[in-house]
């Protein structure tokens, strides 16, 4: 599916077309608005299943004590906390996000969980990661890639900072594959999610954008091809919850 005007003039912001240079700021505004209720809404929207998706992601990181990992668009830090437990006190995890409000929530959660000294929080754009080449054994991005303006640039940026032999894990909403699931999922996405957003977070528009941004995100095979184009080898994906979510994986050789 087309992700952007190939002339580079406009890009998708949900179902709306906006000037390319405006999208990042609009995405920041969305997440600044919902940061305070982000974790509560995740539990409500997914009935808690997002925790299982993240547990599966953590189960395949391959991280061991002493290794280094990066969580891109890591928000409130669910994956970062899990990876900190895997790398231990001798390892290191960097939590990055383009949105300062979300990153602040993540920093507070890391501190509350007792992680100090081997964790760093960095405001960073996924398309231009400010880290050294070949710096991390594993890079994750959970439910963040669909919000990036230039997804190909972000994948190349993440490829650059992964060590040879290291892995990228992209956990993201995808296209349902289970027969009969799509109409039920669509009805839930476009009617229940905005209602939850209005009642719980006081922001219906942001959760309508969420539903729309998922529909504009590449399907499983398209994203797989994008990983390969970015240079990742042994690229593959795992469908979760009938394809509502997919975990894409690839290695740097």
Give the tens place of pLDDT for each residue, 185-226. Answer: 999 999 999 998 899 888 899 989 989 999 999 999 999 999
CA of 81: how far to CAs of 9, 10, 35, 91, in Å? 38, 36, 18, 13
In a domain, 77, yes or no: yes
Please report whether residue 127 resides in a domain: yes
* Inter-residue contact 214 to 207 (CB < 8 Å): no
Containing structural domain, residue 131: 10-177+208-251
Partners of 172 in the β-ladder: 246
Asked whether residue 189 is assigned to any structural domain, the reply reads no
The pLDDT tens digits for 19-33 are 998 998 888 888 888
Higher per-residue pLDDT: 157 or 16:
157
More confident residue, 8 or 16: 16
pLDDT value at residue 168: 98
Contact call for residues 218 and 151 (beta carbons, < 8 A) = yes
Give the mean model confidence (pLDDT) for residues 162-180.
Answer: 97
pLDDT of residue 108: 95
- pLDDT the model gives residue 33: 81
User: What was the pLDDT predicted at 5?
Assistant: 41
Residue 135 inside a domain? The answer is yes
pLDDT at 8: 60
Give a yes or no: residue 29 inside a domain: yes
Instruction: Give the pLDDT confidence score for residue 4 in this predicted structure.
Output: 41
Structurally, how many domains does the chain consist of? 1
Report field, pTM of the whole predicted structure over 0.85: yes
- Residue 113 contacts by C-beta under 8 Å, 6 or more apart in sequence? 81, 84
Closest CA to 130 of 163, 152, 97: 97
Give 85's contacts (C-beta < 8 A, 6+ positions apart): none
Task: Please say if the pLDDT value at position 93 is more than 80.
Answer: yes
Per-residue pLDDT, 3: 43
**Per residue in 97-146, pLDDT tens?**
999 999 999 999 999 999 999 999 999 999 999 999 999 999 999 999 99
Q: Is residue 66 part of a domain?
A: yes
The pLDDT value given to residue 137: 98
Characterize 119-144 residue by residue with b for buried, 16 or more Cβ atoms within 10 angstroms of its Cβ, and e for exposed.
bebeebbbbebebeeebbbbbbbbbb
Q: Is residue 100 part of a domain?
A: yes
CATH number at residue 239: 3.40.50.150
Mean pLDDT of the chain: 93
Picking from 179, 185, 137, 176, the residue whose alpha carbon sits closest to that of residue 158 is: 137
Q: Is the pLDDT of residue 230 over 90?
A: yes
**Rounded Cα gap, residues 239 and 158, in angstroms:** 22
Whether 81 is in a domain gets the answer yes
pLDDT score at 29:
85
Give per-residue pLDDT as tens, 25-84: 888 888 888 888 788 888 889 999 999 999 999 999 999 999 999 999 999 999 999 999
Residue in the block written with tokens 């190349």:
156
Q: Rounded to an integer, what distance in angstroms lies between the CA atom of residue 13 and that of residue 18? A: 6
């Amino acid at each position: 599916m087309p992700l952007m005007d190939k002339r580079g003039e406009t890009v998708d912001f949900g179902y709306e077309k906006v000037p390319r240079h405006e999208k990042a700021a609009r995405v920041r505004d969305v997440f600044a608005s919902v940061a305070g209720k982000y974790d509560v809404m995740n539990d409500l929207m997914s009935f808690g299943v997002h925790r299982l998706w993240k547990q599966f992601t953590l189960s395949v990181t391959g991280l061991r004590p002493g290794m280094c990992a990066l969580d891109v668009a890591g928000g409130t830090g669910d994956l970062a906390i899990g990876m900190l437990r895997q790398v231990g006190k001798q390892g290191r995890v960097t939590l990055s996000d383009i949105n300062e409000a979300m990153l602040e929530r993540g920093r507070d959660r890391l501190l509350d969980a007792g992680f100090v000294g081997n964790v760093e929080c960095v405001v960073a754009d996924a398309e231009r990661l400010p880290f050294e080449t070949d710096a991390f054994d594993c890079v994750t991005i959970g439910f963040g890639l669909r919000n990036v303006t230039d997804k190909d640039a972000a994948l190349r940026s993440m490829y650059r900072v992964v060590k040879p032999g290291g892995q990228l894990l992209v956990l993201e909403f995808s296209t349902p594959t289970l027969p009969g699931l799509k109409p039920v999922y669509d009805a839930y996405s476009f009617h229940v999610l905005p209602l939850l957003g209005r009642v719980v977070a006081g922001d219906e528009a942001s959760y309508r954008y969420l539903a729309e941004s998922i529909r504009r995100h590449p399907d499983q095979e398209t994203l797989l091809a994008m990983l390969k184009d970015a240079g990742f080898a042994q690229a593959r994906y795992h469908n979760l919850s009938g394809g509502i979510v997919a975990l894409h994986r690839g290695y740097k050789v």
